[in-house]
């Protein structure tokens, strides 16, 4: 099982024509989008984007080390 599948076991993906290519998005993962020349390529790209979104979710939030917030 991939990390993306482990993080989001059920994600609805919409793949649709977009001019001369295809696009994919999911209302389940806002901001996660992908494009490709074929539906299959688009799905593969979306799976990569989904894994990236999971990796971002694993990063602690806050101010980067060595950066001071102004206030």
Domain containing 48 equals: 3-55
pLDDT-derived band at 43, boundaries 50, 70, 90? very high
Q: In whole angstroms, give the CA distance from residue 46 to residue 44.
A: 5
41 located within any domain: yes
Specify the pLDDT at position 5.
42
DSSP-assigned letters across all residues of 6-34: HH-S----EEEEETTEEEEE-TTSTT-EE
How is residue 23 written in tokens?
A: 């696009």
**Structurally, how many domains does the chain consist of?**
1
pTM of the predicted model over 0.75:
no
Specify the pLDDT at position 51.
87
The mean pLDDT of 9-36, rounded to a whole number, is 92
pLDDT-derived band at 21, boundaries 50, 70, 90? very high
68 located within any domain: no
> Between the CA of residue 29 and those of 3, 19, 57, 66, what are the distances in Å?
15, 23, 11, 31
Specify the pLDDT at position 13.
94
64 located within any domain: no
């Amino acid at each position: 099982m991939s990390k993306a599948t482990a993080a989001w076991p059920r994600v609805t993906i919409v793949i649709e024509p977009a001019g001369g290519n295809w696009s994919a998005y999911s209302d389940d993962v806002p901001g996660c989008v992908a494009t490709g020349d074929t539906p299959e390529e688009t799905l593969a790209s979306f799976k990569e984007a989904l894994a990236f979104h999971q990796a971002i979710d694993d990063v602690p939030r806050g101010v980067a080390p060595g950066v001071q917030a102004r206030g």
